[in-house]
Structure formats: C-alpha cells, structure tokens
Structure 1
Amino acid sequence: MTGDRGKQSSSAADDRVGRVTELWRYPVKSMLGQRHDTLAIEERGVVGDRLYAVRDGDGKFGSGKNTRRFRRIDGLFGFRARYEDGVPVITLPDGREVRGDDDGVHQHLQRALNRSDVSLSRERSVSHFDQAPLHVVTDASLAWLAAALPGTDIDARRLRPNLVVATGCAPGPVEDAWVGRTARIGAEVIVNFTHGTERCVMVNNAQDDLTQDHRVLKAIADANDLKLGVYATVLQSGSISLADPLHFL
C-alpha cells in the first residue's frame, strides 16, 4: 500500500503544471481591469468579467478589432473599471468616477470618447467574450516575449489574461501544448483548454506605465502565428486564489 501511495503522489506531482500568480477581472470589455487575490468562477467564466461593454449605434461592442460583433473603438484603455456592490464603477481618463447605474453614464462615455452613439451595455444574449470564457497565460510566454523585444515593457497586462500561471519552464509559448487537455485549478475549478489565443493590436497599446510599442504584435505574429496564451472553458465552478496549483487531470 505504501508503494502504491508513493506512485500516486509521484504521478500527481508530475502532472502539476504550475501555480497561479495573478488573477484579473475586467468588468467592462476593453477597459483596464483590476487584480484580485481570489476570483469566483462559473460556467460563463470569472463572475462579472466583461459583463459590461461599450456599445455603439450599430449594436457592436467596443474592442480593439472590427468583427461581426465588435467595433474598434480607440481610447478604451484610458478607462478603468471595478465593481462596487455589484455595480461597475468606471474611472474616466480625467480621473473622475462614474457608476454604471448613474443616469449620466452614457453621456460621460460619449464626451470622453468623442462619440455620440456609444452607451454602457450589460451582456444579454450576445456574448462579450472574444472566443471563450477564460484566458490564461504563463510566465514562460511572458519571458519569451520579453526576450524577443529587449527594451520593451512586457508584463501580463498587455495580454489581458484572467490567470497568469508560473510554470518554471524555459521561455516559450508552452500553453500551445495544453490545447485539448483538462486541468484542475485549486481545489474546485476544472477547465478544458480549447485553443490558442489569437492576439490583436491591443497588445501594442499604452496603458498605465506601459508604453505604446507596435513591435509587440509583429513579434507574436512572426514567431507564433499571432497566438500567445490559451483559452479555456469551465467544466466545474468554484473559486481560484493566488498560489493555487494547476495540474492536468
């Protein structure tokens, strides 16, 4: 029996991929978000993540690209969003704050973006997510990107993940090998990694202390076919906290 337990423990250790080092939630799509120590996870993804979006007059949601659902709206990185008692609170580029339930929130957005057709919209039947509920990147991917672009400010904020996982692997897009696998994160959450994350121009954008750099997207395109990070669906809900282990099932 002792030998069997030893084999099981060794197998569990071998399957451990890493641990969670950052947790992010973005209450309003394409605005800056907020770091957390713990996040609740449901089938839709992080509870409250990208639950709101800036919608234009054609019903498209503000993003860094133009697609059937999304409209590129420049300037959204100048805004930051957080929750207060379940209501999004938006910090405008000039530092003022406006609550999502304020009657004047739409006018504040219109003035700040210099567009008369935008409003704050809560998700209904059309998803605000690009392709999947959860977005994960690793320290290995970030280290690879930093090495490819010496002198450029690289950290997870450029990639806007929900989770950053420290793997201890050599620099490289190690998440590519996770596609198709199932993992447990912490004690409760189970996810399935579905496909690599295709990047857009937003990785170049300035935000907070990160400078604008048009080389970032090109580096990812040249080295890894525009992909860095991995998307996942949620198979079992629960909570994830900093330092939680991630291991394959």
Structure 2
Amino acid sequence: MLIGHIKEIVRHPVKSFRGESVQQTKIMDYGLYGDRSHAYLDETKKGDFLTITQFQEMVRYKARFAGEESMNKYPKVEVTTPEGKDFDWKDQELIKELKNKSKRKISTTEYTPSHVPIGPIAVEHVLLATDASLEKLNELWGEDEVDSRRFRPNLILSLIEKKPFIEEEWIGRRIKIGNEVEMEFVGHCKRCMIITVNPDNAERDSGLHKTIIKENNNIFGVYASVIKKGDIHVGDEVSCRA
C-alpha cells in the first residue's frame, strides 16, 4: 500500500553535530551512508562518545561530506562552526576550540563506509518521522514551530493520509522505498533531553519534551532495520506492507 514519499533525507557525518540534508544517498546495512561515521570521544569519561547531552553547543556545529560518496573511503568531512569558520573535522584548531568550550579532553574515532556499528548510530539503523506527526506536535506544543532537527531523524515521510503518529502502528511491518530499499519498523523512539536543545542557539527549553511526555508517552519517531540496501532519493515513493 502506497503511504507517501520521502520528503527529506538527513545524515549526520559527525555524531551529535548538525546533519546535512541531501537529495540522494545510499542505504547501507547500518543505515544511511556515513551516518554517525565520525565521532568525538570524551576522554574524561573513559572514551565515551561526546554528545549533546554533555556539550549542548554541538548542535550549532554543522558537518557535511565534501565530495562524492565512495565505498573505498569517505569524502572529506568539513565542519562549519557557529561563527561560520570552516575546518576539516580533525583540524587541531577545531579540536582545541571544542576542548575549551566543553572543558573536556577530546579524541576522535571514525569507521568505514562498509561498517558503522550500532553504538554511534543509536539503537537501530534508521530513524523516521512523518510530516503529519510534526504538524500535530506543533499544534500540541503551541509555542515556536517545532524544528525537526531537534529529533535528528534520518528520513521524514510525507504521508498521503495525514494521520498523526500513525507510524507508531507500523512496528513489525515493512516498507519499500523506491525500487530497491526495504526496511522493517522495529521500535519506538523514546525521547531524552536532547530535544530540549534549540538547534540554532543551543539554549534549553523543557516545554517540548514535557508535551511529548504528556501527550504521547515520550515517544516521537520510529526505528527501522535495513532489510535490503540500495539508493534512495527525495521524492521516492514509500509503500508499507504487513
């Protein structure tokens, strides 16, 4: 059954940094090509990933791949700072800035195009949200317009039937995207403090999180595991079956 099409594709080359919206990419066994493939480690916490939870200004740094996708090695990862300066993600000046701001000792880690473990991605391969759910959340919150970047989804679906939160009924079902990709919905996404951080100024506001807790049991978005990899594009049709 046709349920809609891909409205937006977002990948995050560096974990916890702002992602990049792309028109097309590959779905790998682990999810979107290069998603969370590079990360900073917090050596003050024995090498745990440095995330927005510890250093919320990470949401203001934007990471992108500068070049064509390759299965041999990733393109160069470029980072734009909140002040508009561009760096290679491993540039020592950038790392020094992150260390000073976060007050943590930082190291780096990266994976290969063929393998990114579940740890840096999250608990599953791909996170999806729908336009209908975002619009309903706007209504429920009643404050500023809800910025989808707060939820860090990989795919935003534009639904034919604009039924809010219908994606939560899809657990256990499979979808097909375009002519190649297949995924299975495997779980709900329970939300944490990260959604309280404004992507533009890194300031915290608990109102949105409280709304989701009250109105939707602290769930927003669904996780999917990759069944069949391939290419996806903005505008691809999405069909769902049992």
| Alignment gaps of 5+ in structure 2 | 68-74
One-letter amino acid of the structure 2 residue matched with residue 26 of structure 1: H
Question: Which residue is 1:151 aligned to?
Answer: 143
One-letter amino acid of the structure 2 residue matched with residue 76 of structure 1: M
1:81 equivalent among 56, 63, 84 = 63
| Alignment gaps of 5+ in structure 1 | 1-14, 66-71
Task: Give the TM-score, by structure 1 length.
Answer: 0.84
1:60 equivalent among 30, 37, 48 = 48
Question: Which residue is 2:106 aligned to?
Answer: 118
1:122-201 → structure 2 map (5 Å cutoff) = 122-123=110-111, 127-201=119-193
Question: Which residue is 1:208 aligned to?
Answer: 200
* 1:128 alignment partner, SS class: helix
Q: Per-residue deviation at 1:219?
A: 0.8
Count residues in correspondence. Answer: 228
Identity %: 27
Higher RCO, 1 vs 2 (CA within 8 Å, ≥6 residues apart)? 2
Structure 2: how far apart are the matches of 1:243 and 1:232? Answer: 19
Residue 90 of structure 2 contacts residue 108 of structure 2 at CA under 8 Å; is this kept in 1? no
Q: Per-residue deviation at 1:135?
A: 0.5
Structure 2: how far apart are the matches of 1:245 and 1:172? Answer: 19
Q: Per-residue deviation at 1:171?
A: 4.7
Structure 2: how far apart are the matches of 1:43 and 1:151? Answer: 38
Q: Per-residue deviation at 1:90?
A: 1.2
Question: Which residue is 1:24 aligned to?
Answer: 10
* 2:14 alignment partner, SS class: coil
Structure 2: how far apart are the matches of 1:202 and 1:40? Answer: 27
Residue 140 of structure 1 contacts residue 168 of structure 1 at CA under 8 Å; is this kept in 2? no
1:128 to 1:168, Cα distance in 2 relative to 1, 3 A:
same
Post-superposition CA distance 1:201-224 (Å, at most 9, x none): 121211238975321111111122
Q: Per-residue deviation at 1:63?
A: 2.3
Post-superposition CA distance 1:212-244 (Å, at most 9, x none): 532111111112211111001111111111111
Structure 1: how far apart are the matches of 2:19 and 2:219? Answer: 22
Post-superposition CA distance 1:39-71 (Å, at most 9, x none): 111101101111111210111012244xxxxxx
Residue 3 of structure 2 contacts residue 161 of structure 2 at CA under 8 Å; is this kept in 1? no
* 1:50 alignment partner, SS class: coil
Q: Which has the larger radius of gyration?
A: 1
Residue 153 of structure 1 contacts residue 211 of structure 1 at CA under 8 Å; is this kept in 2? no
Root-mean-square deviation (CA, aligned residues, Å) is 2.0
Question: Which residue is 1:94 aligned to?
Answer: 83
Question: Which residue is 2:210 aligned to?
Answer: 218
Structure 1: how far apart are the matches of 2:141 and 2:118? Answer: 37
Q: Per-residue deviation at 1:110?
A: 1.4
Structure 1: how far apart are the matches of 2:19 and 2:186? Answer: 24
Structure 2: how far apart are the matches of 1:234 and 1:17? Answer: 18
Structure 1 stretch displaced more, 19-28 or 205-214: 205-214
1:134 to 1:212, Cα distance in 2 relative to 1, 3 A:
same
Post-superposition CA distance 1:126-172 (Å, at most 9, x none): 72012111010001110110010123221322211111001143452
Task: Give the TM-score, by structure 2 length.
Answer: 0.87
Q: Per-residue deviation at 1:106?
A: 2.8
